[in-house]
Amino acid sequence: MTAHDMAKVIFEGIKSLKPKEDRTLIAIAGPPGSGKSTVAEIVTDLMNENLMKTSLVPMDGFHLDNKTLERKNLFDRKGAPETFDVKGFIELIKKLRYKRNSSVPLFDRTLDEVVNNARKISSEQEYLVIEGNYLLLNKDLWRDLDDYWDYKVFLSVDKSLLKSRLIERWLGENHTYSEAETRVIKNDLVNADVVNSNRLEATLELQTG
């Protein structure tokens, strides 16, 4: 399925949800390279086009900073569950449940750092599409997020396709092929295995291709 095809299927599922007094939170999870960000952006656009006031919240705004990762000897594992501020992320999700003015951090890939309060969330927003690798992770603390999701999507992808996509990603950031392949094998695919092997049940699972 293409990203647009998947977004349309997800959108149809969301439309079937019963209205709520508080915000409706939609989680889109999957391994790195599964297309979560692209699909989540399209879903958000579709919802707004259909007068469903929606904002997008990426989990990547909760990366620990590089100095902290170096101090904890985790820099080479950046992107693994332990390299995120999961407690801070859970606290944000608790607040976002309610229709209040809020702000969320975003991760700037060019700067390789988090930008705090980078996106404003208006109290008028009725839906939030939240995307990230570990939104359905069945491990300590992470599994607590499951209490907040009203609709849960998991994007699956074949491992060989995943590897080639991730290598292309690093090549696009001026790495050599050897450097890109090493990063993918030693970190990205390890994280993908964690996502795929320790996940809670989704409302909807889609195969990307």
Tens-place pLDDT, residues 92-121: 999 999 999 999 999 998 888 999 999 999
Which letter does DSSP use for residue 63 in this model? B
The per-residue pLDDT for 19 is 85
Q: Is the pLDDT of residue 80 over 90?
A: yes
Q: Is the pLDDT of residue 153 over 80?
A: yes
- For residues 147-161, average pLDDT: 95
Residue 29 pairs in a beta bridge with 132, 154
Task: Give the pLDDT band of residue 160 (cuts 50, 70, 90).
Answer: confident
Cβ atoms of 189 and 170 within 8 Å: the answer is no
CA distance 107 to 110: 9
Helix or strand (DSSP H, E) at 160:
helix 159-171
Q: Which domains does the chain have, with CATH numbers?
A: 3-158+199-207 (3.40.50.300)
Which amino acid is present at 178? Answer: S
The per-residue pLDDT for 159 is 87
Q: Is the pLDDT of residue 136 over 90?
A: yes
CA distance 194 to 31: 8
CA distance 33 to 27: 16
Task: Tell which residue, 97, 159, 155, has the closest CA to residue 123.
Answer: 97
Across the chain, what does the average pLDDT equal?
Answer: 95
Q: Is the pLDDT of residue 156 over 90?
A: yes
- For residues 53-81, average pLDDT: 95
Q: Is the pLDDT of residue 82 over 90?
A: yes
Q: Is the pLDDT of residue 209 over 80?
A: no
